[in-house]
Amino acid sequence: MSSQIDHLLNEDRRFAPSEDFAAAAVGTADLYHQAATDREGFWADRARELLHWQTPFTKVLDWSNPPFATWFEDGELNVAYNCLDRHVEAGNGDRVALFWEGEPGDERRVTYAELTDEVKRLANVLTELGIGRGDRVAVYLPMIPEAVAAMLAVARVGAVHSVVFGGFSADSLRARIDDAGAKLVITADGGYRKGRVSALKPAVDLALADRNGSGVQETVEHVLVVRRGGNDVDWTPGRDLWWHEVVPAASAEHEAEAFPAENPLFILYTSGTTGKPKGILHTSGGYLTQAAFTNRVVHDIHPESDVYWCTADVGWITGHTYVTYGPLANGATQVMYEGTPDTPHPGRWWELVEKYGVTILYTAPTAIRSFMKIGRQVAQQFDLSSLRLLGSVGEPINPEAWMWYRSVIGGDRAPIIDTWWQTETGAMMISALPGVTETKPGSAQVPLPGITVDVVDDAGQEVGNGNGGLLVITEPWPAMLRGIWGDPDRFVETYWDKFAEQGFYFAGDGARLDDDGDVWLLGRVDDVMNVSGHRLSTAEIESALVGNEAVAEAAVVGASDETTGQAVVAFVIIKESYLKAHSPEGLAQTLRAWVGEQIGPIARPRDVYIVGELPKTRSGKIMRRLLRDVAEGREVGDTTTLADTAVMSVISAQVK
């Protein structure tokens, strides 16, 4: 690790924006000066300039009860109105909001006027179904325009969405529905993935299957189903409704009511250090301000001319902020693609860039590395000359991938922005401004205007340039999480207790400052893994594994992986009773599939090793560090604190 860091810190390539790019850029250097002079005033200006407030706010930040912040508290707005109606009212109703492309190649162009109309109808349907302010709605959809419409319609009536990624299992969906107490689920029969229809409705049916005796009170009253896959589905009359029957039949008249700035907008579940996912809560005014601002200045959005494409699924925070809320608040035109990057051919993304003339592309390092692996000739078959800005998000981007992205995809012309943020931060926090900053391959670099971060040691002391430590956010920001749904104590413990004295937010990431004071992210310092830019907790996968009848004990680590950044590697001990009755053959494979069914395919371990023992300290704590050494094929590190120091050689032998 340290040699890798030294290598990173010796990176001395610099890329300044071209004069033309800098001259036309939305984000300029004076934003930093404004924010440094009056940080709250800076955010208040952004909120007024970028959003329409039905009741203007007079207060900006209230931090009198940390860590519970409010922003623009006495202001009122309607989030959906800001993303839709006002663009239509300004005469831009015919502008394309979504160039949507299905995986099989079907396409839909949805204008701002059409999307507004659809959302108004759906808002009326929601009201008829008894969904109003504060009610929770689970959204479990493929990447289709209805996903965006569903989020906005829920927001429009002041309700709270909880989008659950379509790749999650029925169990994961059930846990999220129950935790939030959702009254309605919006889903589809299925969607296209890897060339075939992947069903969704059956998972909803399973999640809601008879729960008598389970001790859980059923909160879901209705299931609204989009027809997309055309696959057969079971139907529960009275509970289930077809979108195509009720939405077009509803009235397209709908007045957008004003809600307080702190009205909850959504809950999004993410993995933490325990087995139970956390429902990260975001509210309206501050979130939308920072979403719109960062999308505008970091993605350099010129709404009249750009074709923007963020490749994330709306099931993740990146999709919330940079597919739905940011770009639509800015009135931008974007591409939305349903399927996988390599279906039906490995050049599919580049074909879409050429077809729609994409100017701004925002994606994850894992995708870039998998394109690197298949070779530049695939991308080079397409005309990518429309691209003028490239973005990266989700995990550290290694300088090799950065350079490849720059030269093969960006034609050595388009600036690259590496954006650090989290589900919890709601929007970007650390990134270059593409028209201002000289970029460095591999570094996220500088906090955005109005954002203050630092790198500190365990005691909360600044480490200073040239040193490594823990990344903290030193002052509250508009899009910050307002809490963990239903668990205020966990919110305080997870993010604020560590540096309670200083009042810093602890991000969970290691970082280093180089001699210029630029930030280099070094990955998580807790038991959270990052696989293809998706967060997974070791504890969550361990608990799924021990839920299998064969498994006595399990330890999971994130091992570095050339393509996915990290990969899930599991070490399991099989119950003796199980081995007496069954052959262990094929068991590793079965357990991989089991985790996929329990949590979702993204959590499926790359490797499952069956071992006789796990390395534990005298107090019984599993030493994952040593297992990571094994999983990464390294010499095993210091074992002196193990209860039984011989155990690692046994494990290493069993893995080979």
Binding site for ligand WT7 (CB under 6 A): 270, 317-318, 393-396, 418-423, 444, 507-509, 521, 524, 530, 533, 535
- Is 194 annotated in a binding site? The answer is yes
Complex with ligand WT7: residue 222 or 320, whichever CB lies closer: 320
Complex with ligand WT7: residue 395 or 454, whichever CB lies closer: 395
Nearest approach, Cβ of 391 to ligand WT7 (angstroms)?
9
Nearest approach, Cβ of 196 to ligand WT7 (angstroms)?
27
Nearest approach, Cβ of 88 to ligand WT7 (angstroms)?
30
189 and 200 Cβ atoms separated by less than 8 Å: yes
- Helix, strand, coil percentages (3-state) for the chain, rounded to 5, are 35, 25, 45
103 and 341 Cβ atoms separated by less than 8 Å: no
Q: Which letter does DSSP use for residue 557 in this model?
A: E
Complex with ligand WT7: residue 83 or 444, whichever CB lies closer: 444
Rounded CA gap, 392 and 361, in Å?
Answer: 9
- Is 532 annotated in a binding site? The answer is yes
Nearest approach, Cβ of 508 to ligand WT7 (angstroms)?
5
Q: Hey, what amino acid is at 477?
A: W
- Is 478 annotated in a binding site? The answer is no
Rounded CA gap, 233 and 206, in Å?
Answer: 12
- Is 195 annotated in a binding site? The answer is yes
Complex with ligand WT7: residue 100 or 421, whichever CB lies closer: 421
Q: Hey, what amino acid is at 53?
A: W
Nearest approach, Cβ of 584 to ligand WT7 (angstroms)?
35
- Is 380 annotated in a binding site? The answer is no
Nearest approach, Cβ of 67 to ligand WT7 (angstroms)?
18
- Is 590 annotated in a binding site? The answer is no
Rounded CA gap, 408 and 117, in Å?
Answer: 40
Residue 469 makes CB contacts below 8 A (sequence gap 6+) with 455, 456, 457, 458, 463, 510, 511, 512
Complex with ligand WT7: residue 118 or 424, whichever CB lies closer: 424
Beta strands in 230-283 (DSSP E): 240-242, 259-260, 264-270, 278-283
- Is 524 annotated in a binding site? The answer is yes
Rounded CA gap, 320 and 312, in Å?
Answer: 9
Residue 289 makes CB contacts below 8 A (sequence gap 6+) with 43, 46, 47, 50, 51, 71, 72, 478, 479
- Is 502 annotated in a binding site? The answer is no
Nearest approach, Cβ of 192 to ligand WT7 (angstroms)?
24
> Which residue's entry shows tokens 């049916």?
205
- Is 634 annotated in a binding site? The answer is no
- Is 533 annotated in a binding site? The answer is no
Complex with ligand WT7: residue 417 or 544, whichever CB lies closer: 417
Give which of 449, 434, 361 is closest to 25, Cα–Cα: 434
Give which of 62, 179, 67, 64 is closest to 495, Cα–Cα: 67
According to DSSP, the residues that pair with 222 across neighbouring strands are 184
Q: Hey, what amino acid is at 600?
A: G
Nearest approach, Cβ of 612 to ligand WT7 (angstroms)?
33
Complex with ligand WT7: residue 183 or 406, whichever CB lies closer: 406
> Which residue's entry shows tokens 């008879």?
210
281 and 267 Cβ atoms separated by less than 8 Å: yes
Complex with ligand WT7: residue 71 or 505, whichever CB lies closer: 505
Complex with ligand WT7: residue 222 or 299, whichever CB lies closer: 299
Q: Hey, what amino acid is at 436?
A: V
- Is 546 annotated in a binding site? The answer is yes
Q: Do β-strands 505-513 and 468-473 pair in parallel, antiparallel, or remain unpaired?
A: antiparallel
Complex with ligand WT7: residue 233 or 444, whichever CB lies closer: 444
Nearest approach, Cβ of 198 to ligand WT7 (angstroms)?
22
- Is 324 annotated in a binding site? The answer is no
Residue 253 makes CB contacts below 8 A (sequence gap 6+) with 120, 124
Rounded CA gap, 432 and 410, in Å?
Answer: 17
- Is 396 annotated in a binding site? The answer is yes
Counts for the chain of helices (H) and strands (E), in that order: 24, 30
Nearest approach, Cβ of 318 to ligand WT7 (angstroms)?
5
378 and 349 Cβ atoms separated by less than 8 Å: no
Residue 418 makes CB contacts below 8 A (sequence gap 6+) with 391, 392, 393, 397, 402, 431, 432, 439, 442, 443, 444, 445
Nearest approach, Cβ of 523 to ligand WT7 (angstroms)?
6
- Is 509 annotated in a binding site? The answer is yes
Complex with ligand WT7: residue 347 or 394, whichever CB lies closer: 394
Nearest approach, Cβ of 529 to ligand WT7 (angstroms)?
10
Rounded CA gap, 384 and 373, in Å?
Answer: 19
| Helix, strand, or coil (residue 539) | helix
- Is 193 annotated in a binding site? The answer is yes
Complex with ligand WT7: residue 284 or 422, whichever CB lies closer: 422
Q: Residue positions in the annotated binding site for ATP?
A: 394-396, 418-423, 509, 524, 535
Cite the annotated binding site by residue number: 193-196, 318, 394-396, 418-423, 509, 524, 532, 535, 546, 551
Residues flagged as binding site for Mg(2+):
546, 551
- Annotated binding site for CoA: which residue ranges? 193-196, 318, 532
